[in-house]
């Protein structure tokens, strides 16, 4: 990272080039058409200006070919923007399978970033180069926005909800992290940095980082401490659904609907179990809304996700 002035931030991720290409296309189209319009307005204003002997406009003969052209051409150019943008959007928001996960909790005015292995960081995120990293993010208070210009990613971070985005860094270095949503007095100070490291450096950093045990392990303690394991025993005749292999699978609900058990579903089912009742079960589970903070929720979600991995392919019943 150098601090010299530049119009465009450096390109630090695999998606940066694609985003820039689309941006340049938009710039080019806007520039060409603005220039065209200004040139024509001025040319015609001069050419057809009122002067003695030419007081009235001549009759204009319709030219269908020209009229079709100025409808079809802008339409085609806009369609290119739409298709290009939509494809890029899908690529940016769908993390590749096997991406490393990092949990982000935003609060006024700091970023807390947690690795599944247990180490957590404040306003700093260390990641290995050339590995996709998926961020699962939530806020403890107001809306923030996770913005890393060099990676061309910006995603709002909302209270009571998980949002996610991913990136893959292409070279080691330090990249600024900013908050891109006005969130109060010290919004402008809500900054940090992403430190991209080579694999050996990252391994070393990871082994030195202080850790209180993996998120899933702490989650298991919470799971027992809150009494969840009393009902979610995993037995066939248990009062509560089996949680092994749940994450990523399709869940059949009362009333015939079904949902995919993603992070948002796990979160909702912990906080407000009655929102979605699993088919064949009674609404017995206590409501945990207001009793768990975001950090604990992330630990529980990480634990539930670890159960799916142990069971192998999560989407196979």
Burial class (CB in 10 A: 0-12, 13-18, 19+), 105: buried
Q: How far is the CB of 179 from ligand CUA (least distance, A)?
A: 3
Please identify, among the stretches 24-32, 46-54, 89-97, 177-185, the one whose residues bind ligand CUA according to the rule CB under 6 A: 177-185
Residue 156 contacts residue 179 (beta carbons within 8 Å)? no
| Cβ-based burial of 142 (10 A; exposed 0-12, middle 13-18, buried ≥19) | middle
Contact track, ligand CUA, 60-99, x by CB under 6 A:
----------------------------------------
For residue 188, give both structure tokens.
Answer: 């402008």
- Verify binding: residue 163, ligand CUA, rule CB under 6 A: no
Question: Which range in 34-42, 179-187, 228-236, 242-250 contacts ligand CUA by CB under 6 A?
Answer: 179-187
Q: Is 179 helix (H, G, I), strand (E, B) or coil?
A: strand
> Is residue 113 within the footprint of ligand CUA (CB under 6 A)?
no
CB of 186 to ligand CUA, least distance (A): 8
Helix 294-310 vs helix 263-271: crossing angle, to nearest 10: 120
Whole-Å CA distances, 266 to 65, 193, 249, 289: 58, 30, 12, 13
CB of 294 to ligand CUA, least distance (A): 15
Least distance from ligand CUA to the Cβ atom of residue 143, Å: 8
181 touches ligand CUA by CB under 6 A = yes
Helical (H) or strand (E) element with 307: helix 294-310
Residue 106 or 297: which CB sits closer to ligand CUA?
A: 106
Segment contacting ligand CUA (CB under 6 A): 17-25, 114-122, 162-170, 180-188? Answer: 180-188
Binding flag, residue 144, ligand CUA (CB under 6 A) = yes
Provide the minimum distance between the beta carbon of 183 and ligand CUA in the complex, in angstroms, as a whole number: 3
Shorter beta-carbon distance to ligand CUA: residue 144 or 299? 144
- Contact between 183 and ligand CUA by CB under 6 A: the answer reads yes
CA dihedral sign of residues 175, 207, 114, 251: positive
Give CA 193 to chain center in angstroms: 17
Nearest to ligand CUA of 144, 305 (CB atom): 144
Residue 190 as a binder of ligand CUA (CB under 6 A): the answer is: yes
Give min distance, CB of 268 to ligand CUA, in A: 24
Closest contact distance (angstroms) between CB of 12 and ligand CUA is: 21
- On whether the CB atoms of residues 294 and 138 are closer than 8 A, the answer is yes
* 182 binding ligand CUA? (CB under 6 A): yes
Q: What is the closest distance, in whole angstroms, from the C-beta atom of residue 178 to ligand CUA in the complex?
A: 8
Asked if 220 is part of the footprint of ligand CUA (rule: CB under 6 A), the reply reads no
The answer to whether residues 153 and 92 touch, using CB atoms and an 8 Å cutoff, is: yes
Q: Could you tell me how many residues make up the chain?
A: 317
Say if residue 58 is exposed, middle or buried (CB neighbours under 10 Å; 0-12, 13-18, 19+): exposed
* Tokens at 76, concatenated: 């085609």
Is there binding between residue 305 and ligand CUA (CB under 6 A)?
no
- Kindly give, in sequence order, each residue whose CB lies less than 8 Å from that of residue 238, ignoring residues fewer than 6 positions away: 231, 232
Q: Which two tokens stand for residue 101?
A: 């996960």
In the bound complex, what is the minimum distance in angstroms from residue 111's beta carbon to ligand CUA? 8
Residue ranges in contact with ligand CUA by CB under 6 A: 109, 144, 179, 181-183, 187, 190
């Amino acid at each position: 990272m150098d601090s010299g002035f530049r119009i465009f931030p450096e390109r630090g991720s695999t998606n940066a080039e694609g985003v820039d290409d689309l941006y340049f296309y938009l710039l080019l189209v806007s520039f060409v058409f603005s220039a065209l319009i200004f040139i024509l307005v001025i040319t015609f204003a001069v050419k057809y200006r009122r002067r003695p002997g030419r007081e009235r406009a001549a009759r204009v003969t319709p030219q269908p070919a020209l009229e079709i052209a100025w409808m079809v051409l802008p339409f085609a150019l806009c369609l290119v923007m739409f298709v290009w943008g939509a494809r890029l959007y899908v690529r940016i928001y769908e993390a590749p399978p096997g991406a490393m996960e990092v949990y982000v909790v935003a609060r006024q005015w700091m970023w807390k970033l947690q690795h599944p292995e247990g180490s957590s960081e404040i306003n700093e995120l260390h990641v290995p180069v050339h590995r996709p990293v998926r961020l699962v993010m939530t806020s403890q208070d107001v809306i923030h926005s996770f913005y890393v210009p060099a990676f061309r990613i910006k995603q709002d971070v909302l209270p009571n909800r998980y949002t996610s985005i991913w990136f893959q860094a292409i070279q080691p270095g330090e990249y600024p992290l900013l908050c891109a949503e006005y969130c109060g007095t010290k919004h402008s100070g809500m900054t940090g940095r992403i430190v991209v490291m080579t694999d050996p450096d990252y391994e070393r950093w990871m082994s030195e980082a202080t850790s209180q045990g993996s998120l899933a392990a702490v989650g298991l303690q919470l799971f027992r401490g809150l009494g969840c394991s009393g009902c979610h025993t995993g037995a066939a005749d248990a009062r509560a659904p089996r949680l092994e292999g749940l994450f990523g699978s399709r869940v059949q609900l009362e009333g015939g609907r079904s949902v995919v058990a993603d992070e948002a579903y796990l979160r909702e089912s912990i906080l407000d179990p009655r929102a979605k009742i699993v088919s064949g079960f009674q609404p017995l589970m206590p409501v945990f809304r207001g009793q768990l903070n975001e950090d604990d929720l992330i630990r529980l979600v990480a634990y539930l996700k670890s159960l799916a991995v142990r069971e192998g392919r999560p989407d196979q019943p």
